[in-house]
């Protein structure tokens, strides 16, 4: 089963567009083993999500032990839930091949985030895994995204729009999606209009302050799907006490209800 089919199957089964970022930060976590923290979060929320998204930085920061924790975390996630490796890789062709092999063949992620700055040959090795999802950074959620992404190209378009156009051009296998931050709703709306069929990974809800209602209404496709609304810290650290897993579930359930309420209104209006 390819990534898109796997995503849509679980999204429909769980009635959700919510993705949880598994980003364990020792400074914010309760006093519990990192692997136990991850598995408890997964056990408490697996019926509420359409995907999990571990950010590799939090595991690499723990050294070799962290990579072992990452692998065991991946193994603990139910097989029908897609896992997005948030690695933001981007390098010259031969190195990109090694990165793609590591993410897809070694760790077994269903999808990965990639950086398009080096152009097509840095992304092609990922795209060649036709059953995997490739999320190209387009309009990122951070405040300094405008430093480069707003710059005008010779075409007159801002760079982030050119990335969207290039992604469409490269999407021969139908496995490319885009990362578009909820903190830039008008840009999200524009990108959805440019790429009506693509899957969008939408971070920035919660701690970063993105508007959930706009993220859902501007991010979904015509069928009310293919928008992955990622929330990390707000769910993971809902409590730093022994009840952290239940608190995470309660928060995730509340966010899913908010998403579904907006989604119902959007579909009714259409």
What is the pTM (predicted TM-score) of this model?
Answer: 0.96
Ordered by where they begin, the domains of the chain are 3-269 (3.20.20.70)
Token pair belonging to 39: 């598995």
CA gap 71, 59 in Å, rounded: 10
Q: Are strands 199-202 and 176-180 parallel, antiparallel or unpaired?
A: parallel
88 a catalytic residue: yes
Q: List pLDDT tens digits, range 32-88.
A: 999 999 999 999 999 999 999 999 999 999 999 999 999 999 999 999 999 999 999
- Report helix, strand or coil for 19: strand
Output the CA–CA distances (angstroms, integers) from residue 253 to 18, 49, 161, in the order listed: 9, 9, 34
How far is C-alpha 2 from the geometric centre of its chain's CA atoms?
16
- Report helix, strand or coil for 234: helix
Residue 207's pLDDT is 73
Q: List pLDDT tens digits, range 137-177.
A: 999 998 898 899 989 999 999 999 999 999 999 999 999 99
Catalytic residue among 15, 88, 166, 189: 88
């Amino acid at each position: 089963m390819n990534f898109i089919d796997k995503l849509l199957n679980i999204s429909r089964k769980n009635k959700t567009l919510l993705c949880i970022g598994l980003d364990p930060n020792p400074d914010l976590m309760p006093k519990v083993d990192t692997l136990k923290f991850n598995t408890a979060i997964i056990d408490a929320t697996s019926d509420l999500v359409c995907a999990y998204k571990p950010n590799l930085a939090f595991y690499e920061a723990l050294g070799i032990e962290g990579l072992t924790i990452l692998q065991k975390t991946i193994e603990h996630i139910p097989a029908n839930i897609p896992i997005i490796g948030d690695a933001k890789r981007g390098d010259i062709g031969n190195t990109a091949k090694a990165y793609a092999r590591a993410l897809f063949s070694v760790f077994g992620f269903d999808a990965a985030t990639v950086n398009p700055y080096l152009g097509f040959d840095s992304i092609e090795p990922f795209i060649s895994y036709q059953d995997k999802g490739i999320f190209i950074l387009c309009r990122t959620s951070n405040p300094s995204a405008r430093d480069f992404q707003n710059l005008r190209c010779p075409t007159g378009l801002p760079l982030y729009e050119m990335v969207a156009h290039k992604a469409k051009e490269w999407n021969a296998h139908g496995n490319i999606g885009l990362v578009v931050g909820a903190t830039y709703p008008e840009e999200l709306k524009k990108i959805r209009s440019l790429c009506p069929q693509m899957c969008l990974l939408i971070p920035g809800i919660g701690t970063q302050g993105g508007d959930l209602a706009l993220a859902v209404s501007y991010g979904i496709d015509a069928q009310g799907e293919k928008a992955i609304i990622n929330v990390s810290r707000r769910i993971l650290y809902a409590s730093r006490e022994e009840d952290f897993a239940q608190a995470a579930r309660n928060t995730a359930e509340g966010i899913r209800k908010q998403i579904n309420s907006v989604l119902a209104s959007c579909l009714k209006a259409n």
